[in-house]
Amino acid sequence: MRFNHVCYEYNVHYAFYPFHDRIAPLVRLSAKWLDAMTVLFCKRIVLKSLFEESYIGAMKVKNRFIRSATWENMTTEDGHMTDKLYDIYQELAEGEVGLIITGYANIVEEEQPNPGMMGIYDDSFINEYKKLTSIVHDSDSKIVMQLAYGGTKTTHNVGSRIIFAPSEVPERGTQTLGKAMTKEEIDYIVDAFAKAAGRAKDAGFDGVEIHGAHTYLINQFLSPYYNQREDEYGGSLENRIRFLLEIYTQMRSVVGDDFPILVKLTASEFFEGGLTFEETRSICKTLERIGVDGIEISGNIHGKAKEMVGESYDGYTIQEEGYFLEYGKVISNEVSVPVITVGGLSDINTIEDIANDTNIQYFAIARPLLSEPGLIKRWKEGDRTPGQCERCSKCRTRRGNFCVVYNKR
């Protein structure tokens, strides 16, 4: 292995080749030792690249770190901003997070799957979100709003509202049963997603993310377990993806070609009869073809991650550091749009290795930033100690979602 070959593997190629030509004649070292030193040197270059600018569609991001969408449970009852919530986003932006994805926002007023979640269901939110996006932009960070319809993945106010679902199949965790949607109701939700994206753009957000994971409504349409329909929205994967594609297409017609639209997907549903990884791979290729700007690969293992680490599903294994890394790695080799991995990331050394060894381009972090909003800044300044999050999953409290160990509020 020669110097130029090693550096090609670590994304710097010939940049330091002349440097090698000067050094090699001066020191009589074995080629093996020189190559080992080269690998270490080039890895440091890649580490710096985690803090270099890159693009998700037309959106320039200052580093490769993303705050994954995190439900804060700190809005007013009807989903409007509070001072406490503004402060959280300011801390994240000042902490050098390159891209912040908001907690999921409900797109229709009558559907709020959890209390204290952000709203984007009418124009009354636009001005307060202009303040939010300005706060984030003042620190040279970017902010994307996550848009969602929760559906039956809820126990909040069940019985007091109509909850839509693709079919009358209860959600496995909550056991909540929804109403099978008519074509008119499907059109209503598709239109609501598109209008919500338009409001987000008007409010100064740098993009939106469609939440198609975690057994929320879009995920259920994709799933052969939850989607038992016999019309054009059910049966084959081509039909099951139709709801998501209609949302994207109408959303794109509202926001234009240059406004980034990301999609969050479940790698696999991790149970027999559910959405498989092979199907998710096919969905990602379709999303690439129609113009989606980024894909975040996640999984519905809330509260079960510790016991599921090491288990294999669809031929790939859930990792302790980077739960869905193996799934994201495969997809990143098959599509050209940026792939984001999320789940169980708290060690910059591991993140650096993933950046070296895969085509995954972005790294989304949630709970570690609840305990330490300045984590990315600390890493940037040279302190490579892993995030202090204990992974205790006690961050959901009655007073909001925050770290009860290190960052009490």
Find tokens 């994307």 and name the residue: 144
Rounded Cα distance between 51 and 48, Å, is 6
Find tokens 């016991």 and name the residue: 307
Q: What is the dihedral of CA 315, 321, 327, 329, to 10 degrees?
A: -120
Rounded Cα distance between 86 and 102, Å, is 11
DSSP 387: P
Q: What is the dihedral of CA 119, 131, 205, 211, to 10 degrees?
A: -30
Contact 81, 133 (CB under 8 A): no
Residue 139 buriedness (CB in 10 A; 0-12 / 13-18 / 19+): middle
Find tokens 């999921």 and name the residue: 104
Residues labelled as active-site residues:
216
Contacts of 305 by beta carbon, 8 Å cutoff, 6+ apart: 318, 323, 343, 344, 391
